Structure 1
Amino acid sequence: MSDLAPDPSYSLNLARNLTALRTTGEWSMRALADQAHVSERMLLYLEKGRSNPSLSTVEKLAQALGVQAGSLFGKRPVARQGPEVFIEAVVAQNLVAARKRLMLSQDGL
């Protein structure tokens, strides 16, 4: 095996983290794909660990989820604002922002 071969654990961590952040934030696959400006199909493949994303795609997803891009490949994503901010708070902020952009009430959501 080449030294340049990707570590399969990175794809698994990415898949697990994307799925966990999306479901914790109660984002549909379509909503996250729209927010990150990626296709739903790409997001589906990433969540199943069946695709290697470009750096641009990882950055778009990280921005939409409010985490540091590189941390999506780790054991636990890190919020963009700093280590003292819990990822759950970032996901909640993103959910509120998306709801407001769509002009939905909490009941409507």
Structure 2
Amino acid sequence: MQTRHRGISVLHSLLAEESEPSATGTSERKGRNPALIQTRNTNLLYRFYYKSKVERKLYPDSVSELVKEFHLSAVMIQKIIQAKTDELMLIKKEQPSVKSLKEKYPHMVW
């Protein structure tokens, strides 16, 4: 019976050590940076506008090309487009030229 109690006490000491760092109050935010996600989504909307309006590609073709460019699933790209329809309408109203897109996003091939 003594070995059983020794195992339990080791287990309790291990659990107690794991909970100590969280008790200090220095918790880090885990996950992706919201500002970077917003930048990516805006970039994606401009690319979608370019593919659908400037290159005149159909919706499924535009989405499939964005899947390759942004390494996201087609469903995720469609969710982003649906969630950001207001922003997309502003881009459509703005009607950016290829020259302005090249200036705004010089790292992309327009």
> Which TM-score band (shorter chain)?
0.3 to 0.5
Q: Which has the higher helix share?
A: 2
Larger Rg: 2
The TM-score with structure 2 as length reference comes to 0.32
Higher relative contact order (CA 8 A, sep 6+): 1
